[in-house]
Amino acid sequence: MTLVGQLSGISILCAATWLGCGESRPTPHGSSPSVPWRLSTLPIAEVSGLATLPGAPAELVAVGDDTASIARFPGVVGAGLREAMKVALPKLKAKSAGLEAIATDAAGRVYVMSEGSGRITRYDLGDGKKKAKHELRWQLDVGGHPIAKRWKAAENARGEGLLVLGADRFLVAKQRKPRLLIEFGPAGAQPIGVRQGKVQSAGRAAGGKIVPLSTWELAVEARDHFEDLSDLARGPDGQLYVISSRSARVGRIVLPLSSSADTFEIDKGWDLPALGEPGDELKPEGLTFLPDRSVVVGFDRDFGKPNLLWMPPLTEPKSP
C-alpha cells in the first residue's frame, strides 16, 4: 500500500443509534480518483494536537508530546517538511512540557496545554517569527471538585483536547477514566456552556487559576464507539468535533452543551481510513479543519515518519 493515493470518502457509522453500520475501514484500493487524500510529514514527533489559525490563506499549527515548539505550516494539501516552520515556545522545557493540545482564538493567538502539570499557556506567534512571545498562563485547579480524585489518579488520561470559549474560559476534553468535557473558568463564575458558532475571542483575559464550572460525561450509547477523547475541533459549520485515538474515529458532538446537563452525546461518527502496514500502529491524536471543510488528522508517530493525513470533507451519514 502506498502512502499517497485516492480515497472516495470515509466509512460512515449510523447516527445516534449506531445500528446497521460495518466496522470496516476503507483503504485507497478501488476508490474514486476524483477526491484526493495525502499523507505528509511534519518536523515534530508524536503529534498530539492540531489547530487552524484564523484568516486567509489558511495556516495550521501542530504540537507534539515531548517538544517545546510547534510546527506552523500552510493549509495546503500535502504540506509537510519543506513548508513547515518550527516555532520555539519560551518558558517550556521539551522533556517536561507534555503538550497534549493546541487551540487558537479569533485573534490568532495560540494556546498549548500541558497534560501532567495542567497548565495552559498563550503565545503570540507574530508574523513569520521562529520564537513565539509568551503572554499568559492558566493553571487548571480541580481542587475539591467531585472530579478531583479521578483527575489526579490518571495522570496520562487528563486534558487532551482544548477549545477557547472566551476570556479565561476553556473547554477541556479529559481523555479517559472517565471521558469528560469540562468547562474551566474563574472561581465563582457562572458556566456559559458551549453552542454552535465560530472560534471565540479571548477578550481581556487575566490568566491565573481556573476551576471546573461544568462537566459532561460521554453518554453510555457512544462509549463503545469512542474509547477515548484525544482532540477537539470547531468545524467550519460551527459544530464541535472530537477524535478518538483508540477507536480511530471522528465524531460530532451534539450542541448546545448546557450547564443543566451532565452528559454529552455524539450523533454522527466517521471511521478513519486504515493506513500503514500490519503492526504499524497509527494513533490519531490531532484534528482540525480547513475553511473548505477538508479534514486534517495528526498521528502520534516517531520523528521522520508520515504523521499528517489530509482528507476530503466529512459526508453526511448514509441510511443503513
Q: Average model confidence (pLDDT) for the chain?
A: 85
For residue 88, what are the CA distances in angstroms to 48, 63, 103?
A: 16, 11, 16
How far apart are alpha carbons 212 and 244 in whole angstroms? 23
Asked whether the predicted pLDDT for residue 26 surpasses 80, the reply is no
The three-point CA angle 117-85-283 to 5° equals 55
* pLDDT score at 29: 28
Asked whether the predicted pLDDT for residue 6 surpasses 50, the reply is no
C-alpha grid cell for residue 270? Answer: 466517521
Residue pair 103/94 in contact by the 8 Å Cβ criterion: no
How far apart are alpha carbons 122 and 264 in whole angstroms? 28
Q: Out of 14-18, 164-168, 313-317, which region has the weakest mean confidence (pLDDT)?
A: 14-18
Q: What percent of the chain has pLDDT over 70?
A: 85
The pTM score is: 0.87
pLDDT-derived band at 23, boundaries 50, 70, 90: very low
Max mean pLDDT range (91-95, 272-276, 294-298): 294-298
127 Cβ contact list (under 8 Å, min separation 6): none
Instruction: Quickly list DSSP for 252-307.
Output: EEPS-B-TT-SEE-EEEEEEPPP-S-TT---EEEEEEE-TTS-EEEEEE--TTS--
User: HEC profile for 119-158?
Assistant: EEEEEECCCCCCECEEEEEEEECCCCCCCHHHHHHCHHHC
User: What is the mean pLDDT of the segment spanning 40-49?
Assistant: 92
pLDDT-derived band at 315, boundaries 50, 70, 90: confident
- Domain regions of the chain by residue span: 4-40+136-311
Asked whether the predicted pLDDT for residue 144 surpasses 60, the reply is yes
What's the pLDDT tens digit per position in 243-285?
Answer: 999 999 999 999 999 999 999 999 999 999 877 666 666 799 9
Asked whether the predicted pLDDT for residue 31 surpasses 60, the reply is no
**Which residue, 300, 316, 296, is CA-closest to 80?**
296
Residue pair 177/217 in contact by the 8 Å Cβ criterion: no
**Which residue, 7, 66, 52, is CA-closest to 287?**
52
Asked whether the predicted pLDDT for residue 205 surpasses 50, the reply is yes
**Residue 80 or 155, more confident:** 80
